[in-house]
A and B are shown apart, each in its own frame.
Chain A
Amino acid sequence: MIHAHPALPQPTRFIDPTVLTRISSLELVARTVVEGFVAGLHRSPHLGFSVNFAEYRPYRPGDDIRKIDWKVFGRRERFFVKEYEGETNTSIHLILDCSQSMRYGNRGIPKLEYGQFVAASLAYFAFKQRDSVGFISFDEQVREFVPARGSIGHLNTVLHTIERTSAAQKSNFLKPLVAVSERIRKRGIVALISDLYDEPQRVMDGLRHLALHGNDVIVFQVLDPSELLFDFEESAQFIDMETRAEMHVVPDFLRQEYRKIMKNQVAFFEKECQKDRMDFALLDTSQPLDHALFAYLLRRQQLY
């Protein structure tokens, strides 16, 4: 369990999420994040990779010359690089909430975008670890489902799918998560990236479904700082992004109690997750993405 708290490595080592938004390619974002993150780690003995031959491909400038198969050169007088199919240690399914509420971003980037960064980074990172990666997006129902695979080309599929994700509907946790849990055949890690804005009990029921199928569940609750602090100055007409319901709010009147309620809510999820052996991490959209990666890494360590 990891929190976005100041005890973690200082963000100077990592790139601010708002800076990442300037990078158009999600793959590049993921690579930047992950490589920055990895550079700070010791070489891990757990970084296994496969030896199963996958295919040959012509040498391209820039390829590591150590990877050139000299035997084939002897036969064919051409440079071929030997590609191996990774032997997957585990699989990770990234489940991204793409309901309307995820569009919110008052300070920094929208939660959805942050979630996309997190998902992409995790996907890239997992791929680096030779894990197979799958991606699911949902709101009221499952919108996208990319099953987990370990091939090189699959990462691009996953990243494209993540990039394509947009928010349109209300969220409903139970139904899509039940559906997802049924569709994941291989047990592995399931990472849910969401603001968890549904009836708490319903959210927990959905998560339990995932866990009951033998998955190791990591819950990333992505929240904007404004949602946590409610630091609005002036009174305003607040509109619910999903239901379009309206409410006149004088922030001064509610702030204290709202903060308390939010704190209790987060504590509730944390406690419930702990109870069901799930990991819970609160992600603040103003925090660098590496927290999510740490969470993933720690979870993976526990598995092997």
Chain B
Amino acid sequence: MSFLNPLYFWGALAAAVPVLLHLIRRERARRIEFPTLMYLRKVSKRTIRYQKLRHLLLLLLRVLAFLFLALAFTRPFREMPQVSAAGGKVTTAHIILLDNSLSMSYGDRWERAKKAAAEIVRRASVGDKFALLEFSDRVFARSQIVTGKDTLLGQIENGVELTEKSTRYSQALRLAEKLALEAGAEKRIIYLISDFQKSGLDADEQDSRLSSSVELKPVDLGSDSFSNLTFGEVKVLDADESNAGSFQIKATVVNYGTEDRKNIRVSLSLHGRVVAEKAVDADRSALRGVEFQIPALTAGAHPVVLEVEDPNLTRDNRFSMILEARGKTPVFSVENPEPKGGRSPSFFLSHALNVSSFSPYRLTAVALEKAESVSTLTGSLVIWNDASGGGPALQKKLQDYVRGGGGLAVVLGKAVTAEDFNRTFGSWVPVQMEDPSLQAKRPGQASHDYALLTDLRMDHPIFKPFSEPHSGDFTGAKFFKYARLKAAQGSEVLARFDNGLPAVVSANIDKGRVVVLAFPADDSGNNDFPVKAVFAPLWQQILRHLGNLREGRRWVEVGETIEPQKILAESALRQGRADFDLNQAIVVMSPDKRRVPAVPGASALTLEKIGLYEIRSPRLSITVAVNPVPKESDLAHANVEEFVAGWLPREASGAPQPAVENERMSLEEQERKQRLWRLLLAAVLVFLVSEGLLGNRLALKRE
């Protein structure tokens, strides 16, 4: 029990007032002559004793009222019940937050951090509580709240380890605060052992505040002078068609340090062998571009590693990537025989798809009657380019192809009648064509005769690239002749004409996809769409969608989560290996050639290390390149005082020294501890009321 205002104990002297009054009045007792004491002496002693007792009780009540009043003013408060065994000292919860992000491997920071943590534990009092949290972009509690120092020292010495991930303070501090508040100690201190990278401060952290009962003590291991080289932006360009399989790599070397660096060696290795080397100069806080040409690679995935020579913070010196060399995807345009003197229906298409080395497609026109003879459609895409209906064999072939995972685009021009379409596709594609096709009488007639494309589904993968402003204008194209389509259930209308009829309809059929376009791919019927700028990109997008093509990412950043099964499946698809079974067992090997234990029930895997991960299945094996988070390489040092002030509770943030020892308690806690004064005042009230009643009764008797 302690007292907020012990000086008020002097007020307890007031309790002597009734006693003094009693004594003084007794001393000054008048002498009264009375005729005889004969009868007074007859009054029984018992009555006198009883009366005396009542008056003593009255005196006691008055004394107690004064005493309790004085006591209430001293504001007594309870100590916390969790008093340590060490002689009633205040128990403290030490929550140690240890930064184990990539930047902590700079110089001897990690060793110093461990020493600082151990020192905190050693200097703590017996009976104090501890928790050790390691954090980077994630927080890992090495232990829950413990009281044994030795356990924690052992963990600091051998348990903690550096990671290669980036720094994020906010969630770590939040968890530490939660642990501190749950520790059941009177004093709570969070030690933040870190290099206080500026890049670790998120914008959202600026508004975060810790509870007022938690103290934040920073242990700063960072410095304002440092040196670090790493790769900034890296771009990989596929070479042109004449040089298929070759790549151009454009990288920037960033000097994050505070001094200029000259003649730095930058190397490129392929499959672990250095194939090119360059020397660059990097001024402080500057970028330096460096380019490498990689000669033609055989089809398949090739691990490429860029490395900059830098003795400081070596873990971010390497930048790996997977370059996948592959051939162009064949696209068959099935069409009616070319009319004499006319243009091929695929005239515009071939220009749109075979445009340059950037296009991953190679269009081949196939006459309708020869289409059946195409040996296999697997690995290729098919455009049914305004061809009239084929025979049953061709229909079955197409259906099997699509159901097996193929992609088919149906272009409806003047040659296709509703009957042809419905016979060929009506049974398995959920789109119907209705007669007659709409045809404007003559070009140049009333303007409302042509249709425009509207109501584009910009969220669909086909149109998504056009969703940004100035990314393609479809409204300029005029359609004078187009098919009247009816989308059935299971299909999706991606674009409509301005009269509401479907213009582009997409449907998934088993593993494959079908896209039906209600307008031709050439300028027949005076359609001017093929000469618009969006024609080629749209077709590239349609084929990309049909081919279910997803660019394999050449690298990912550490800390990202991947789904190994899915990556394997996509890779299999790209390689035309339709027989890949999604459910087969896989093994993931980390860059240090250790098997990554699979988490039961979870398909995702977090990439913890920098380097090349290997995902293996019995029939396929792929490599995933993992690079450090670029911002983690920036060792710029934050202002620690500002940082801590930013985390202080609002009312305390004005304090000049955030680290000042100050036991902060929440208002509720303070009030709870001190509420004894209320009880005391209540007791005073009871005493006074009792005194009043008793006094009144005695006075009444006197009457």
Q: Chain A: residues with CB nearer than 8 A to chain B?
A: 100-102, 104, 111, 195, 197, 224, 227, 232-243, 245, 247-258, 261-262, 265
Partner of A242, one of B25, B32, B36, B48: B36
Is A227 a contact of B35 with CB atoms below 8 Å?
yes
Is A256 a contact of B47 with CB atoms below 8 Å?
yes
B464 close to A (CB within 8 Å): no
B598 close to A (CB within 8 Å): no
Size of B's binding interface in residues, CB under 8 A: 26
Is B701 a contact of A262 with CB atoms below 8 Å?
no
Q: Give the Cβ gap from A37 to chain B, nearest Cβ, in Å.
A: 28
Is A237 a contact of B36 with CB atoms below 8 Å?
no
Is A240 a contact of B36 with CB atoms below 8 Å?
yes
Number of A-B residue pairs having CB atoms within 8 Å of each other in the complex: 93
Is A265 a contact of B25 with CB atoms below 8 Å?
no
Residues of A with C-beta under 8 A to B34: 104, 238-241
Is A236 a contact of B30 with CB atoms below 8 Å?
yes
Is A239 a contact of B31 with CB atoms below 8 Å?
yes
Residues of B with C-beta under 8 A to A227: 35
Is A254 a contact of B35 with CB atoms below 8 Å?
no
Residues of B with C-beta under 8 A to A254: 40, 43, 47-48, 51
Is A250 a contact of B51 with CB atoms below 8 Å?
yes
Q: Give the Cβ gap from A113 to chain B, nearest Cβ, in Å.
A: 14
A–B Cβ pairs within 8 angstroms, 25 of them: A100-B35, A101-B36, A102-B35, A197-B35, A197-B36, A234-B29, A235-B25, A235-B29, A237-B29, A237-B31, A238-B32, A238-B34, A238-B37, A240-B35, A240-B36, A250-B52, A250-B55, A252-B55, A254-B40, A254-B43, A257-B43, A257-B47, A261-B42, A261-B43, A262-B39
Identify the interface centre among B25, B26, B51, B698: most chain A CB within 10 Å of its CB: B51
Partner of B41, one of A111, A233, A247: A247
Distance in angstroms between the alpha carbons of A254 and B51 in the assembled complex? 8
Distance in angstroms between the alpha carbons of A238 and B26 in the assembled complex? 13
Distance in angstroms between the alpha carbons of A101 and B38 in the assembled complex? 12
CB within 8 Å of A: which B11-53 residues: 25-26, 29-44, 47-48, 51-52
Closest chain A residue to B38, Cβ basis: A197
B702 close to A (CB within 8 Å): yes
Is A236 a contact of B40 with CB atoms below 8 Å?
no
Q: Tell me whether A245 and B701 are in contact in the complex, defined as CB-CB below 8 angstroms, given that A253-B51, A258-B43 are known contacts.
A: no
Residues of B with C-beta under 8 A to A233: 702
Distance in angstroms between the alpha carbons of A242 and B33 in the assembled complex? 9
Q: Tell me whether A238 and B40 are in contact in the complex, defined as CB-CB below 8 angstroms, given that A101-B35, A255-B702 are known contacts.
A: yes
Is A252 a contact of B698 with CB atoms below 8 Å?
yes
Distance in angstroms between the alpha carbons of A239 and B25 in the assembled complex? 18
Is A253 a contact of B47 with CB atoms below 8 Å?
yes
A contact face: mostly helix, strand, loop, or mixed: mixed
Partner of A237, one of B30, B38, B43: B30
Distance in angstroms between the alpha carbons of A257 and B43 in the assembled complex? 6
Is B40 a contact of A258 with CB atoms below 8 Å?
yes
Residues of B with C-beta under 8 A to A197: 35-36, 38
Distance in angstroms between the alpha carbons of A200 and B52 in the assembled complex? 30
Identify the interface centre among B30, B37, B48: most chain A CB within 10 Å of its CB: B37
Residues of A with C-beta under 8 A to B43: 253-254, 257-258, 261
Residues of A with C-beta under 8 A to B37: 238, 240, 243, 245, 247
Distance in angstroms between the alpha carbons of A258 and B25 in the assembled complex? 23
Closest chain A residue to B50, Cβ basis: A253
Residues of A with C-beta under 8 A to B47: 253-254, 256-257
Is B36 a contact of A247 with CB atoms below 8 Å?
no
Q: Encode contact with A along B206-228: 1 for CB under 8 Å, 0 otherwise.
A: 00000000000000000000000
CB within 8 Å of A: which B437-491 residues: none
Identify the interface centre among B29, B31, B33, B34: most chain A CB within 10 Å of its CB: B34
Q: Tell me whether A252 and B39 are in contact in the complex, defined as CB-CB below 8 angstroms, given that A237-B30, A257-B47 are known contacts.
A: no
Q: Tell me whether A237 and B39 are in contact in the complex, defined as CB-CB below 8 angstroms, given that A253-B52, A254-B47 are known contacts.
A: no
Partner of A239, one of B32, B39, B51: B32
Distance in angstroms between the alpha carbons of A239 and B30 in the assembled complex? 10
Residues of A with C-beta under 8 A to B701: 252, 255-256
Residues of A with C-beta under 8 A to B39: 258, 261-262, 265
Is B35 a contact of A241 with CB atoms below 8 Å?
yes
Is B29 a contact of A236 with CB atoms below 8 Å?
yes
Residues of B with C-beta under 8 A to A237: 29-32
What 10 additional pairs, Cβ within 8 angstroms, besides A100-B35, A237-B31?
A: A111-B35, A235-B26, A236-B29, A237-B30, A238-B32, A239-B31, A240-B38, A241-B36, A254-B40, A254-B51
Closest chain A residue to B41, Cβ basis: A247
Residues of A with C-beta under 8 A to B25: 234-235
Q: Give the Cβ gap from A104 to chain B, nearest Cβ, in Å.
A: 4
Residues of A with C-beta under 8 A to B30: 234, 236-237
Q: Give the Cβ gap from B677 to chain A, nearest Cβ, in Å.
A: 36
Q: Give the Cβ gap from B59 to chain A, nearest Cβ, in Å.
A: 13
Q: Give the Cβ gap from B19 to chain A, nearest Cβ, in Å.
A: 15
Residues of B with C-beta under 8 A to A245: 37
Is B33 a contact of A241 with CB atoms below 8 Å?
yes
Distance in angstroms between the alpha carbons of A247 and B38 in the assembled complex? 11
Distance in angstroms between the alpha carbons of A214 and B702 in the assembled complex? 46
CB within 8 Å of A: which B678-703 residues: 698, 701-702
Closest chain B residue to A100, Cβ basis: B35
Residues of A with C-beta under 8 A to B702: 233, 251-252, 255
Q: Give the Cβ gap from A191 to chain B, nearest Cβ, in Å.
A: 21
Distance in angstroms between the alpha carbons of A245 and B34 in the assembled complex? 10
Residues of B with C-beta under 8 A to A252: 51, 55, 698, 701-702
